[in-house]
Amino acid sequence: MANYTGANVITTSDVLKYQPDAFDFGISTTATETVNFLAQTTNDILRELRIRWWPVYKTNVYTDITVLNTAEMVDTKVNLDQFERAGVYLFLHRFYLPALTKFRPEADKDRFERMIEHYTGEYNKELTAILEDGVEYDSDASGTISVNERESLHGSRRLTR
Q: Is 77 in contact with 54 (CB distance < 8 Å)?
A: no
Residue 3 lies inside a defined structural domain of this protein? no
**DSSP secondary structure, 73-108, as one string:** --GGGB-GGGGHHHHHHHIIIIIIHHHH-----GGG
What sign results for the dihedral spanned by CA atoms 115, 116, 117, 118? positive
Residue 92 lies inside a defined structural domain of this protein? yes
Residue 58 lies inside a defined structural domain of this protein? yes
As a whole number of angstroms, the distance between CA 139 and CA 19 comes to: 34
Residue 108 lies inside a defined structural domain of this protein? yes
pLDDT of 36 reads 96
Residue 31 lies inside a defined structural domain of this protein? yes
As a whole number of angstroms, the distance between CA 55 and CA 18 comes to: 32
31: containing domain:
12-159
Strands 135-136 and 150-151: antiparallel
Residue 6 lies inside a defined structural domain of this protein? no
Domain total in the chain? 1
pLDDT per residue of the chain (161 residues) written in tens, 0 to 9: 455 566 899 999 999 999 999 999 999 999 999 999 999 999 999 999 999 988 888 777 766 565 556 678 889 999 999 999 999 999 999 999 999 998 888 788 899 999 999 999 999 999 999 999 999 988 888 888 888 788 787 655 444 43
Task: For the chain, report the end-to-end CA distance as a whole number of angstroms.
Answer: 31
Give the helix/strand (H/E) hosting 135: strand 135-136
Q: Is 116 in contact with 102 (CB distance < 8 Å)?
A: no
As a whole number of angstroms, the distance between CA 95 and CA 50 comes to: 21
How confident is the model over 12-39, as pLDDT tens digits? 999 999 999 999 999 999 999 999 999 9
As a whole number of angstroms, the distance between CA 77 and CA 42 comes to: 14
Residue 90 lies inside a defined structural domain of this protein? yes
Residue 149 lies inside a defined structural domain of this protein? yes
